[in-house]
Structure 1
Amino acid sequence: MARAHREPMPGRYPVTFGEVELLRDLDRQDGWMLSKDDVPQSYVDLQDPTYLEFDYVRLMADVIDLLPDGPLSCVHVGGGACTIPRYVSATRPGSRHLVVEPDGLLVNLVREQLDLRSVPKLKVIVKGGREGTAGLWDDCADLFVLDAFSGATMPVELATEQYMGDVARVLRPGGTLLVNIADGKGLAFARRVTATVRGAFRHVALLAEPGIMRGRRFGNLILAASREELPVDLLTRRAAGGLTQARCVHGDDLTRFLAGAAPIRDGDAVLSPVPPPAVFG
């Protein structure tokens, strides 16, 4: 008989790169938040992996739900509590997941406290994003999810032309890339990351809440990219009609959004934006 998973213990835990806090959701019996430096990193419901607390994760799920039916072969750079692998395993049984996460102690914490062993066909390798991606086979993934943050900032080395070229190598011709970006006023970083992704993938769409898309407040934007056409009409309707009520920008509108922004190359002096203190206050 399988051993029942023990109840998670809320509290602060040391990890390889600092300390994280595990918090129980008082509104959902099986909901748990993982935060680092008081910045929410992941949310999981241990009994209902289809419940997605964060708006930007729902946007990722909108894209995934519109991919062709059937199980997916997935690569996830940035592990956290593995919210998206749990979601895909629940909605697309038989999917396989390779998670690349540099913090080994965090992986152990999630495995022990948040029942990571219950996610089928999931493997974690403890490496940095570039090193982990470089070791993957060509044309091995249907879905590549880049959701890697150090605190509240995206590592710039995972937003360069060179790295996006490696991601394109790993994805199958019809595969889809999802990138989580955080940015604020002016969206200068988001524009450059979008230009970089557009250099590696012919079809790109950007999704975010209207206030974030206009650069009025700091928040998360999701890039979806593929060498083949994306279902942008369906995605536009789904994003606008969901709880998030997001915009989907693509085609000529995306070209105007870029406003001539240059792609990011290895060695460029680019700083990933830091959120104002009030964002998570």
Structure 2
Amino acid sequence: MADAAQMTLPSSTVAWLTPDPFVAGALTLSLDGVPQSHVSLRDPRHLFYDYVRRMGTAIDLAARPAEPLDVLHLGAGALTLARYVALTRPGSRQLVVEKEEGLVAFVLEHAPLPRSAEIDLVEGDALDALRSLDLPESDWHEGADIVVCDVYAGVSTPAHLISQDFFEAVRAVLAPRGTVLVNVADEPDLGTVRRQIDALRAVFPAVAMIGPAATIDGREAGNVVLVAGGDPAILERMPALAAAGPHPVAWHVIAPVQ
């Protein structure tokens, strides 16, 4: 893809895919002028945004290298992490849920997936999708090793996707040792981060947060990754996750609800 591509989606959102002038073979997806995703088609292992790198490392640490995983992505973007998992863990089963009608088709038209990638794509609301995946006949019922929550409408996550009900629906499809990864973009007061932490603590016994030191300390706006699940090993992996960078980094384990 040599030139930028543009499409007005049915919601009237304008999507752009623009070549990165500094990284050959890389694209930036923007919606209504706001950058949403960065993906390297030449090497999907190259993760550009710091929060995506942290989530990629968390997936790396969740199992032995190259071991296939079942990964559920809530929010598609440019399918950056789905491409990463397909390359680093061949044979992984992946499902991507995206509410923005037409977005995935637009992305795949200009940035196709590798033929070897086993990725299913669904258009719809993330909570509705979770409830359908929790049905007894679904092969995702308590089957996801990783659930990535990166769902935005504009610059914020819809309220029903940061609630306790939402994370209870996530838990219903999560394997007993599975990991939930949540991207939260927030202001220095971390109000949205705290609300999502409260919802996660009500559902999962293991919850931690990690991000740029200036964001975690409340000095700058930025993206925080919340890590949660039912397995205490999730918290044991936090020092290794922090050591992998990007730096400077800060992280905290969140005390469970008593």
TM above 0.5: yes
Identify which of 45, 51, 55 aligns with 1:50.
Answer: 45
Pairing 1:1-281 to 2, within 5 Å after superposition? 7=1, 9-17=3-11, 18-69=13-64, 70-116=67-113, 118=115, 120-136=117-133, 137=138, 138-250=141-253, 254-255=254-255
Q: Does the Cα contact within 8 Å between 2:146 and 2:174 map onto a contact in 1?
A: yes
Change (3 A) 1:162 1:238: closer
Q: Does the Cα contact within 8 Å between 1:157 and 1:163 map onto a contact in 2?
A: yes
Q: Does the Cα contact within 8 Å between 1:16 and 1:106 map onto a contact in 2?
A: no
Which one-letter code corresponds to 2:44 in the other structure?
A: P
Which one-letter code corresponds to 1:78 in the other structure?
A: G
Distance, in Å, in 1 between the alignment partners of 2:232 and 2:223 is 24
Question: Cα distance, 1:241 vs. partner?
Answer: 4.7
Distance, in Å, in 1 between the alignment partners of 2:114 and 2:59 is 23
Q: Does the Cα contact within 8 Å between 2:149 and 2:183 map onto a contact in 1?
A: yes
Distance, in Å, in 2 between the alignment partners of 1:244 and 1:37 is 30
Distance, in Å, in 2 between the alignment partners of 1:237 and 1:169 is 28
Distance, in Å, in 2 between the alignment partners of 1:162 and 1:29 is 42
Distance, in Å, in 1 between the alignment partners of 2:226 and 2:10 is 29
TM-score (norm 1): 0.83
Q: CA RMSD in A?
A: 1.8
Distance, in Å, in 2 between the alignment partners of 1:226 and 1:168 is 8
Q: Does the Cα contact within 8 Å between 1:71 and 1:94 map onto a contact in 2?
A: yes
Distance, in Å, in 2 between the alignment partners of 1:162 and 1:119 is 35
Question: Cα distance, 1:93 vs. partner?
Answer: 0.8
Q: Does the Cα contact within 8 Å between 1:111 and 1:117 map onto a contact in 2?
A: no
Q: Does the Cα contact within 8 Å between 2:28 and 2:39 map onto a contact in 1?
A: yes
Structure 1: which 5+ runs fail to align? 1-6, 261-281
Question: Cα distance, 1:245 vs. partner?
Answer: 3.0
Q: Deviations over 1:133-156 (max 9, x none)?
A: 111042121111000111211111
Q: Deviations over 1:7-57 (max 9, x none)?
A: 364132112331111111111110000011221101111010000010000
Q: How many residues align?
A: 248
Question: Cα distance, 1:226 vs. partner?
Answer: 1.1
Percent of aligned positions that are identical: 33
TM-score (norm 2): 0.90
Distance, in Å, in 2 between the alignment partners of 1:188 and 1:143 is 25
Q: Does the Cα contact within 8 Å between 2:207 and 2:235 map onto a contact in 1?
A: no
Distance, in Å, in 2 between the alignment partners of 1:103 and 1:30 is 25
